[in-house]
Chains A and B, each alone.
Chain A
Amino acid sequence: MAESYRRSRWTNGLFVVPYLSVFVTLLVFPLAWGIWLSLNKVDLFGGERFIGLKNYARVLSDPVFGQAVKNTVIFVGVSVPTLVVLGLFLALALNKTTKGSSFLRGLFFASSILSVTIVTLIWRIVFIPSDGLIALIFEFFGWQPIGFLSTKGWALFSVGVATVWWCIGLPMMLFLAALQQIPKDLYEAAALDNASRWRVLTRITLPSIKSTIMLVAVIQVVMQFQLFGQAQLMTNGGPAGSSRPIVMYIYEVGFLRWDIGMGAAASQVLFLIILCAAMLQYWISTRKEEVDA
């Protein structure tokens, strides 16, 4: 009788129907419809006219988009390595069962549960040029105060500080989970050989969690390419567009200027960039392992 339970029946598929219908109407269809919209000139009050790839040409030739791509790539290029290295450091430092370590783990993860509104509110208040926490510290040391959020060159950096502060918990937790899974006998052998801590780190620990390092990097690249709320709320993309990321460009074109076709095209370009970045990282990681073997 247990056999008949395992038998394939189409009625068993009824269990997935509720989810699949939501999945199709709210994800698959909008994805396809978004691609269709990107190929049309869309009138705000309904009505589309097919114009082929013209929206894409408009997006790619828009200097504002070019700058947004540049900003985003710089942001990803700096924030992702910072998150990976800092996350790895914290995981190594806090990989203990003591009360102090577990308290600090909880503390470093705590910021990740806050909403982007709260995170940016905190950092905007901290960065206020005359009265903020940073300004007070600068004053204490007798340094000139800097308008971090309103100065070109500092704006994107400040957004990055808030982002690393917000996102550091997940890389740390993923690295901790990976460290737990390294076989203990590897370390016993190292102890017998009287290997130095540095040798243990570079010869045992890091090679054992290589795939997790790659995984964390890919997750962070995909997440940080979608930078939006922090930039919008802290600097509104300014000054002079120096901190406007791609998603904010999509938001401005699609929902403030209501140029729906062009916004849809920009969002497909972002989707493609994210896919390529993730695939490139995956490709590099698998290739390296082959060379090693």
Chain B
Amino acid sequence: MKALNYSPEHLTSNRRLFWIAAVLGVIMMTPVAWIIGLSLKDNAELLRGTEAVFSMPYTLVNYANILKSSSVFSWFMNSMIVAIGQTVGVLLLSSLAGYAFARLEFPFRKTLFIIVLFGLAVPEQAVIIARHQMFNWFDLHNTHIGLILPNLSSAFGVFLMTQFFRAIPKEIDEAAMLDNASTFRIFWKVLLPLTLPAQATLGIFTFLQAWNDYWWPLISATKSDMYTLTIGIASSQTNFAQSEGLGFLGAQAVFASLPVVIVYIFFQRHIVTAVSGGAVK
């Protein structure tokens, strides 16, 4: 007789499913391996046929060419400035608002919070044309500030930080209160340090979103020296025929994804918390 197996894992999944998933994983990674392979080949050799990927010699010349081309480097810097600016801004605004919504009482607190939550439902398309016009009035297009500002209005960060502040035990700020500390002091000295893991989660998530943003930079940054990496690479993608070759394109793809891949490898857990923590209670 077979022994009973109580583990839920045993009853919900089995080895066969795992191996099917493993095969799917290999299929999923094949295009990535293909691009990395192309990026390591000489462009002239690829012109004669892309089967060349499967044989020696390999070269780093495409990567060297990227570092030589000044535009890719300046797009990279623009992306860094915009992504870091947005991350700092979102963390600051969301922490302040999240603290007040979760721990303090003030008039219209609940109403305001519900209005902010409604903001989660507004898709970018519904506001983008008006936003574009507004930024025209203030001459903000083709500036870093103009690229940073719009996403600071995202309600997601406030929502997430409010949840994190709520999770801190009440006794902690009550104890600080006995020392007659001001609300700002309690926020800054007592509670904020406790939210560091949450700050990391929201910060990494915001950074990735900003780095990958496409719609807004596409219409706001129209001068090539203000492109972010996403827009810059898209601009060299529109005409395959005139590009410097598949190897160079592949190297661009690898180079542009390096920062996010590195962030992902080191902070995978934070990223997963951010995307699933907001949706599943």
Question: Which residues on A are within 8 Å of B, measured CB to CB?
Answer: 1-2, 4-13, 15-16, 18-20, 22-23, 25-31, 33-34, 37, 89-90, 92-97, 100-101, 104, 106-111, 113-118, 120-126, 128, 131-133, 136, 165, 170, 173-174, 176-179, 181-182, 184, 186-188, 190-192, 194-195, 197, 200-201, 205, 212, 215, 219, 222, 226, 228-229, 233, 247, 250-251, 254-255, 260, 263-264, 267-268, 270-271, 274-275, 278
Contact = CB atoms under 8 A, between A and B. Distances in A.
B107 A30 contact: no
B174 A2 contact: yes
A5 B35 CA distance: 58
A6 B30 CA distance: 57
B161 to A, nearest CB: 10
B280 A177 contact: yes
Interface string B112-152: 10001001011111111111111000000000000001101
A270 B125 CA distance: 8
B129 A117 contact: no
Interface stretch (B56-64, B193-201, B268-276): B268-276
B127 A34 contact: yes
A206 to B, nearest CB: 10
Given A19-B93, A19-B94, A26-B150, A92 B12 contact: yes
A33 B134 contact: yes
Nearest to B260: A113
A134 to B, nearest CB: 9
Nearest to A162: B31
B167 interface: no
Given A20-B116, A116-B212, A254-B132, 15 more contacts: A1-B177, A1-B180, A2-B174, A4-B177, A10-B106, A12-B104, A12-B183, A13-B109, A19-B158, A92-B12, A115-B229, A118-B233, A215-B279, A233-B234, A264-B129
Contacts of B253: 118, 121-122
Nearest to A253: B129
B8 interface: yes
A270 B126 CA distance: 8
Which applies to chain B's interface (DSSP): helix, strand, loop or mixed? helix
A181 B133 CA distance: 47
Contacts of A233: 234, 237-238
A133 B125 contact: no
Interface residues of B, number: 107
A173 B272 contact: yes
Interface string B193-230: 00000000000000010011111000100000000011
B106 A9 contact: yes
A159 B27 CA distance: 17
Contacts of B129: 34, 37, 250, 254, 260, 263-264, 267
Contacts of B119: 23, 27-28
B7 interface: yes
B94 A26 contact: no
Contacts of B214: 115-117, 228-229
A187 B272 contact: no
A82 B28 CA distance: 15
B250 A125 contact: yes
Of A28, A122, A212, chain B has the most CB atoms within 10 Å of the CB of A122
Interface in B234-281: 234, 237-238, 240, 246, 249-250, 252-253, 256-257, 260-261, 263-264, 268, 271-272, 275-276, 279-280
